[in-house]
Amino acid sequence: MADSSGKYSQSVLSKIIRFFLRDEEGSFPVFLHSLRLEDQLYDFTIVRFSVAFLIIAGSLFAKYILEISQLNHYALIILAIILFFANTINFLIAYPARKKKEKSSAYRFLLIFILHLSIATDFIFLTIALWLVGGVYSPFQTFFIFHVIIASVLFSPLISFAYTIYGYLLFLTLAIVSWKQWLPPIFPIGAVPSDAPPTGKYIITVAVVQGLLFFLTASLTTHLMYFLREGQRQIVRINKDLERLCDQRKGFLQIALHNLRAPISAIAMHLQNLLYGYGGELNDNQKSWVQRSLTRIDELISFLHDLENLSVMENADLLREANEFGLNDLIEKIIEENQDLILSKNHEIKIELPEGKIFILGIQRLIREAILNFLTNAIKYTPPNGKIIVRAYRYSSCVRVEVEDNGIGISKEDIPKLFREFVRLKNQKREGVDTTGSGLGLFIVRQVIESHGGKVFVKSEPGKGSIFGFELPIHIKK
């Protein structure tokens, strides 16, 4: 029985919350920028603290610097102190609320109640402050418009118009009180244009003009907020669709890689058997055809390898596998493993490494792929008998790895395109240079390096060679 009663009270409380926060479509919440309720209350509280200090500073400035007479700055200071202490209660509730992950309906209702109470009392504080600095003559009466804008930003159109009417009634009350002199008039000389009580015509004029300003401001602000919130909803929907499509693409990529790897390997093996004569002796034309097919198969295998690296890079938990390793040893091993490729084009290769070992915290196989990509590109895009330098050195708190060649180079307008996905540069064909590839290699290098907190760079001139490199944070051994 008690349980059902508790559920009923929570249901009623939820309906009350939704009534005060619903927008045109009844969605919840309706706050701007998807800020949490506790965050908005906290930010609003900080603003109110600033207002309290400004009232004190402004009253002292007017009294002692501008020397405005008949200004009751003591009353203004007391009003600011009351606002400060009332706001302190808000702060003590809003600040801890930001750290709470889960909040009950009752707790959320408390936050909503405090936010509404703060807006309502601010209109009252403003009305009193205006009475102390000239009433309807006060130049600060436009601050009512500011409060109308705040209400329109924070709440739904229904609630914001309710606050607009509430604020206008307070201003109208102040105007009538000033006209009828039901309270002693306060006209600080120098802050207001006249010390004579306002006439009925002036009160009517001010009431009409301010009423128009109030409701025009509320209408325009709520209209603007409607479009902002609608745009926000569309962005949220688009992001969800993009996340869904991204997950589908990842799944399709994994399936494609799994289903293609085995048959391509089988085709490559059978072509190798044909080339070796296991199916009978081949003539020169047949050998040429098989060799060309094997070349294309190798290119396809390389493309699948790039896709596999790309799918690995999209794993959000990737850097959990990070380990410490020595960069010097890794570079030397990569050069040693690729000696046959280097010698096939008769390149001269030079290694420049620092004397002390450099350690990196990361995934060694991915950093290896990045360096290997730079090296194989340098070999590929450098004509036979070229020169390649692989170097690593400390640069501030980072380590720089560079692969320099004297190959065909890259034009200035093509350099910004290099690290994009599936980019193949035109005008890169030269005699003795193999320009085939998937267009994914450098994109994957950038993904690898940026996921490790580093950055990639390139320097190149056509006909003078290129320097491809990256920076990574140095890991200090403890």
Q: Which of 243, 273, 299 is the last residue of a domain?
A: 243
- Whether 253 is covered by a domain: the verdict is no
- Closest alpha carbon to 357 in 271, 474, 441: 474
pLDDT at 424: 66
Tell me the pLDDT tens digit for each residue of 317-360: 566 677 889 999 999 999 998 888 888 889 999 999 988 888 88
> Taking 50 as the threshold, does the pLDDT of residue 430 lie above it?
yes
Judge whether 313 lies within some domain: no
Based on the domain organization, do 224 and 346 belong to the same domain? Answer: no
- Phi and psi at 392, nearest 5°, equal -140, 140
Supply the CATH number for residue 344's domain: 3.30.565.10
Q: What is the pLDDT of residue 390?
A: 95
Domain C-terminal end among 228, 243, 258: 243
> Is residue 48 located within the same domain as residue 147?
yes
Q: Is the pLDDT of residue 28 over 80?
A: no
- Decide if pLDDT at 261 tops 90: no
Residue 42 belongs to some domain of the structure: yes
State whether 32 and 156 are in the same domain.
Answer: yes
What is the pLDDT averaged over residues 80-100? 84
pLDDT in tens, 241-254: 888 887 777 777 77
358: containing domain = 318-473
Phi-psi region of 453 (alpha: psi -120 to 50; beta: other; left: phi over 0): left
Residue 282 in domain: no
- Residue 66 located in a structural domain: yes
pLDDT of residue 348: 92
**31-43 per-position pLDDT tens digit:** 333 456 777 788 8
pLDDT at 263: 86
Sign of CA dihedral 327, 469, 400, 317: negative
Q: Are residues 233 and 330 in the same domain?
A: no
So what's the pLDDT on residue 477?
Answer: 62
* Residues 106 and 229 occupy one common structural domain: yes
Note whether residue 109 is domain-resident. Answer: yes
Same structural domain, 339 and 429: yes
- Shortest CA distance to 391 belongs to which of 338, 449, 335, 454? 335
- Provide the pLDDT confidence category of residue 425 given band limits of 50, 70 and 90: low
Are residues 91 and 189 located together in one domain of the fold?
Answer: yes
Q: What is the pLDDT of residue 288?
A: 85
- What is the pLDDT of the chain when averaged over all its residues? 81
Residue 410 lies in a domain: yes
User: Residue 344 belongs to what H/E stretch?
Assistant: helix 339-344
Rounded distance, CA 254 to CA 307, Å? 9
Number of domains in the chain: 2
Q: pLDDT per residue over 121-171, tens digit each?
A: 999 999 999 898 888 888 888 888 888 888 888 888 888 899 999 999 999
Q: What is the pTM of this model?
A: 0.51
What's the average model confidence in pLDDT over 105-134?
87
Q: Is residue 254 part of a domain?
A: no
User: Position of tokens 């059902």?
Assistant: 4
More confident residue, 275 or 103: 275
Model pLDDT, residue 1: 45
Among 208, 224, 243, residue at a domain's last position: 243
What confidence category does residue 228 fall into, taking pLDDT thresholds of 50, 70 and 90?
Answer: confident
Q: Is residue 238 located within the same domain as residue 98?
A: yes
Same domain, 340 and 232: no
Residue 190: which residues within 8 A CB-CB, separation 6 or more? 66, 67, 68, 69
Tell me how long the chain is. 478
φ/ψ (deg, to 5) at 394 = -75, 140
Confidence category of residue 371, pLDDT binned at 50, 70, 90: very high
Amino acid 347: pLDDT: 92
pLDDT at 352: 94
The reported pLDDT for the residue numbered 29 is 38
Identify which of 477, 476, 478, 473 has the alpha carbon closest to the alpha carbon of residue 397.
Answer: 473
At CA 372, angle to CA 427 and CA 432, rounded to 5?
Answer: 35
User: How much is the CA Rg of the chain, to the nearest whole Å?
Assistant: 36
Look up tokens 């194989």; give the residue: 376
Q: Are residues 105 and 189 in the same domain?
A: yes
